[in-house]
């Protein structure tokens, strides 16, 4: 048992945490709006080997674990970096597992992404694909097929809450990588990886929201004292580190389960859950709540200034919601999670533990 | 990170599970709700006989806080009556940490037999959250101390052999610096108690100290150093042994009910999407509460005193528990109103019990507000606001 980062992961945290602090202040985030993609930043991140980091060594990648990638995702989330690190890493790993990886994805000159919401059979497009505006490779389910479509993205995104490079992407002209149960299983693993890494990124957003709030309430004076001295604010802000710690532990447990690669257990009656896809769903839902709550409380602590574009907290507030809701309705994700935990609704015997 | 239990830990957990399945019968669980004493000597003895008590006490035996977590996690998940044994182990840990040779030779082995309980004498009629304002006086008289005062919420005092007592020994210094801790036999002349009955069935007590004369060998920690001893006790209470797994049996009990009982509308609660969403959210909260508690235990294992992490997991777990109790009471209404042994009671009465019991969990062992103050001041570095 180890509930801290490994030494290697601390080194990863130093490198990428430092990189994003240095290279991605919020001026860079603002400059990349409304598209939400900073090509120069992505190129510099590629120089550090980030796009290939999580790809298998045999394919020329860095062989990093999901847990290692979660450390980078956390750092990217703290900076709300306008780069498709998570989407690209997850799509690349899926392509590698299906022997469909190419050098352009490996070095990041081509952005790959995952259509996180499947399209029904015959649907002309995946809607609002994360990084779909800038990706040249899109992998996703169309009915029972796992399809890879190549071709440049539109380069623009519909104006959206999170200033994300999302776009509808055509399902036509793609290569079928797998079909039936094999396709569903491969997609499920990729989606669980996406949820795990996005959970880590959302945790990063929550961390920054907390830091911004603490800085502000120490600076801002009302009634002749810093507003951070008022218990009413302190009590609200005290929830943030709890949710952040919980979110990061849960995302890390999901990553651990994913890296283990062995079937886990789902015994919710004894809170004994080691199944990767289940933990990934839990981590994503909880981190979404944590990021939403932390940015909400942080914005509120700013008073009217929190609502002003000039202050950075609004950048984090919008992405906390955007990075969560791009996957669809969280309530529906809870229902899908319930199917895993308790068996499907309407089943004669719903119990799995 | 690595969340796997070692093979040794897995064996330990399986042993505890087997023991709980054997000893914590429905009769044992039921008895706490009829007597109001949340303790089972059968369980305590069984744990003692296998050496698990000594093994689990911080600083004794194996002294691995992760094992201590495993022990309490398994007991709490089974809804076993653990209030007696958790206080006994907590105070065994305090004695092992801060006790003198006399206490280590008398109190400690006694607590490890599983036959003896201890009560915590911190709060008073006029001091609860402001626990350092304790007014119970201990005054030196030759080689002895003379103690006078009143303590509130001294749960188990009616059964306990020992009482841990926070007293005021110095009126001339700031309040935190004038406290001294004692551990006394409950049968010391001058100690009496009255029952205080609670909404959650559990009986607690008020205890009275009337010219109680004790020797200095019963003092634990330094004279005027009681606050330090208190910190050790609270770090254990709020974290590893602090009832942070209460949501797990609640979910299990509700799940069993919801999967079988057909409501007035002809369908089972578990098929209702609103209920299913909430069951998923409660499962997530249980996982988070478990991880936060495990982290506190893990930190203690690295030599830290996880007071802050204990505060954090207690806030989260108890508030999530209250939310879950409210949700499930709604979902199972009106059967959730029926108490233990009433025909048709949801989950045999557990849902009603949790609705009734959950309010106290954000109060005892430090209110959510006091714990949030700790987090705000010590974690976020905000100015002291009291």
| Any A CB within 8 A of B315 CB | yes
Q: How many residues does chain A have?
A: 353
Instruction: Inform me whether the pLDDT recorded for B373 exceeds 60.
Output: yes
Give the best residue of B282, B283, B292 to mutate against chain A (max A CB count within 10 A): B283
* Residue of chain B nearest A269, judged by CA positions: B252
Q: Report the distance separating Cα B353 and Cα A48, nearest Å.
A: 57
Cβ-defined contact of A67 to B280 (cutoff 8 Å) = no
pLDDT at position A183 is 98
Q: Name the least confident of A72-86, A143-157, A190-204, B261-275.
A: B261-275
Q: Is B58 or A6 the better-scoring residue by pLDDT?
A: A6
Counted residue by residue, chain B has a size of: 386
Q: Which of B3, B247, B372 to mutate to test the interface with A (most CBs of A within 10 A)?
A: B3
Q: What is the pLDDT of residues A218-229, one digit of tens each?
A: 999 999 999 999
Chain B residues 221-260 with CB within 8 Å of chain A: 245, 248, 251-252, 255-256, 259
| CATH 2.40.110.10 holds for B120-231 | yes
Report the C-alpha gap between B276 and B282 in whole angstroms: 10
Which stretch of A184-198, A324-338, B61-75 has the lowest confidence by average pLDDT?
Answer: B61-75
DSSP code string of B10-65: HHHHHHHHHHHHHHS-HHHHHHHHHHS--B-HHHHHHHHHTTHHHHHSTTSSS--H
The CATH H-level (homologous superfamily) assignment of domain A185-342 is: Butyryl-CoA Dehydrogenase, subunit A, domain 3 (1.20.140.10)
The superfamily (CATH) of domain B7-117 is Acyl-CoA dehydrogenase/oxidase, N-terminal domain (1.10.540.10)
B87 shares contact with chain A (CB less than 8 Å): no
A223-274 pLDDT, tens digit each: 999 999 999 999 999 999 999 999 999 999 999 999 998 999 999 999 999 9
User: How far away is chain A from the Cα of B52, in angstroms, using its nearest Cα?
Assistant: 21
Res. B157: pLDDT tops 80 = yes
State the ipTM, two decimals: 0.97
Q: Which of B5, B287, B309 sits opposite A1 (nearest CB)?
A: B5
- The reply to whether B317 touches chain A by the CB within 8 Å rule is no
Among A127, A133, A98, A99, residue whose Cα is nearest residue A113: A133
What digits encode the pLDDT tens for the residues A85-134? 999 999 999 999 999 999 999 999 999 999 999 999 999 999 999 999 99
Q: Nearest-CA distance from A262 to chain B in Å? A: 12
How is chain A split among helix, strand and coil, in percent rounded to 5?
Answer: 55, 10, 30
Phi (first) and psi of residue A103, to 5 degrees? -65, -30
Is B243-379 a domain of CATH 3.20.170.30? no
Whether residue A268 lies within 8 A of chain B, CB to CB, comes out as yes
Q: Is the pLDDT of residue A352 over 70?
A: no
* Domain residue ranges of chain A, discontinuous segments joined by +: 185-342
Question: Rg of the Cα trace of chain B?
Answer: 21
Are the CB atoms for A294 and A320 separated by under 8 Å?
A: yes
Percent of chain A with pLDDT over 70: 98
Q: Which helix (H) or strand (E) holds A97?
A: helix A85-97
DSSP string for B215-270: EGGGEES-TT-HHHHHHHHHHHHHTTTS-TTTHHHHHHHHHHHHTT-B-TTSSBGG
Contact A230 B385 (CB under 8 A): yes
| Cα nearest neighbour of A331 on chain B | B277
pLDDT of residue A211: 98
Contact across the interface for B373 and A238, Cβ inside 8 Å: yes
Region(s) of chain B under CATH 1.20.140.10? 243-379
Positions of CATH 1.10.540.10 in chain B: 7-117
A294-303, B220-229, B258-267, B280-289: the lowest-pLDDT one: B258-267
Tokens of B67: 């094992």
């Amino acid at each position: 048992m180890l509930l801290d980062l490994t030494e290697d992961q601390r080194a990863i945290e130093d490198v990428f945490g430092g990189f994003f602090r240095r290279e991605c202040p919020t001026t860079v985030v603002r400059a990349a709006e409304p598209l939400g993609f900073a090509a120069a930043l992505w190129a510099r991140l590629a120089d550090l080997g980030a796009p290939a980091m999580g790809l298998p060594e045999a394919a020329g990648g860095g062989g990093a674990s999901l847990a290692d990638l979660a450390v980078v995702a956390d750092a990217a989330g703290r900076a709300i970096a306008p780069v498709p690190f998570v989407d690209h890493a997850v799509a690349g790993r899926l392509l590698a597992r299906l022997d469909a990886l190419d050098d352009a994805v490996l070095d990041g000159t081509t952005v790959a992404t995952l259509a996180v919401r499947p399209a029904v059979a015959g649907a002309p497009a995946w809607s609002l694909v994360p990084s779909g505006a800038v990706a040249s490779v899109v992998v996703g389910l169309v009915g029972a097929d796992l399809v890879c479509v190549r071709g440049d993205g539109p380069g623009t995104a519909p104006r959206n809450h999170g200033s994300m490079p999302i776009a509808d992407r055509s399902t036509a002209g793609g290569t079928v990588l797998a079909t039936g149960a094999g396709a569903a299983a491969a997609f499920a693993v990729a989606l669980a990886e996406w949820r795990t890494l996005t959970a880590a990124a959302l945790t990063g957003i929550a961390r920054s929201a907390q830091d911004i709030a603490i800085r502000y309430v120490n600076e801002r004076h009302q009634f002749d004292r810093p507003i951070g001295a008022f218990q009413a604010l302190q009590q609200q802000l005290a929830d943030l580190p709890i949710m952040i710690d919980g979110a990061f532990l849960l995302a890390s447990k999901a990553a651990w389960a994913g890296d283990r690669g062995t079937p886990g257990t789902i015994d919710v009656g004894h809170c004994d859950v080691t199944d990767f896809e289940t933990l990934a769903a839990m981590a994503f839902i909880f981190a979404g709540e944590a990021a939403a709550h932390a940015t909400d409380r942080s914005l509120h602590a700013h008073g009217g200034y929190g609502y002003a574009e000039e202050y950075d907290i609004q950048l984090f507030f919008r992405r906390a919601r955007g990075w969560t809701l791009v996957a669809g309705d969280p309530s529906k994700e809870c229902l899908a999670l319930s199917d895993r935990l308790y068996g499907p609704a309407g089943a004669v015997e719903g119990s799995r533990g | 990170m690595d969340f796997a239990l070692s093979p040794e830990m897995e064996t330990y957990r399986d042993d505890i599970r087997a023991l709980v399945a054997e000893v914590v019968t429905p009769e044992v669980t039921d008895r706490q709700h009829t007597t109001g004493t949340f303790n089972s000597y059968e369980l305590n003895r069984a744990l003692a006989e296998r050496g698990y008590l000594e093994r689990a006490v911080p600083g004794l035996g194996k002294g691995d806080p992760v094992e201590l977590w495993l022990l309490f996690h398994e007991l709490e998940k089974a809804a076993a009556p653990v209030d007696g044994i958790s206080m006994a182990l907590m105070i065994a840990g305090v004695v092992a940490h801060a006790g003198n040779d006399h206490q280590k030779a008398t109190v400690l082995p006694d607590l490890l037999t599983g036959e003896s309980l201890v009560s915590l004498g911190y709060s008073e009629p006029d001091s609860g959250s402001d626990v350092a304002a304790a007014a119970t006086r201990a005054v030196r008289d030759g080689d002895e101390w003379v103690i006078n005062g009143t303590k509130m919420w001294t749960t188990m005092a009616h059964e306990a052999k020992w009482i841990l007592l926070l007293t005021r020994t110095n009126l001339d210094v700031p309040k935190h610096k004038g406290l001294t801790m004692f551990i006394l036999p409950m049968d010391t002349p001058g100690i009496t108690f009255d029952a205080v009955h609670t909404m959650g069935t559990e009986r607690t007590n008020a205890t009275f100290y009337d010219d109680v004369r004790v020797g200095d060998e019963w003092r634990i920690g330094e004279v005027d150093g009681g606050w330090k001893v208190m910190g050790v006790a609270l770090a254990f209470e709020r974290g590893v042994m602090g009832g942070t797994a209460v949501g797990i049996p609640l979910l299990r009990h509700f799940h069993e009910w919801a999967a079988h009982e057909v409501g007035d509308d002809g369908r089972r609660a578990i098929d209702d999407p609103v209920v299913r969403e909430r069951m998923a959210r409660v499962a997530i909260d249980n996982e988070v509460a478990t991880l936060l508690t495990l982290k506190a235990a893990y930190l203690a294992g690295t030599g830290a005193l996880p007071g802050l992490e204990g505060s954090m997991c207690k806030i989260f777990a108890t508030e999530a528990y209250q939310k879950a109790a409210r949700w499930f009471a709604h979902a199972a209404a009106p059967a959730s109103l029926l108490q233990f042994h009433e025909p048709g009671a949801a989950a045999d009465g557990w849902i009603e019990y949790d609705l009734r019991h959950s309010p106290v969990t954000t109060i005892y062992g430090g209110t959510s507000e006091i714990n949030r103050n700790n987090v705000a001041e010590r974690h976020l570095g905000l100015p002291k606001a009291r």
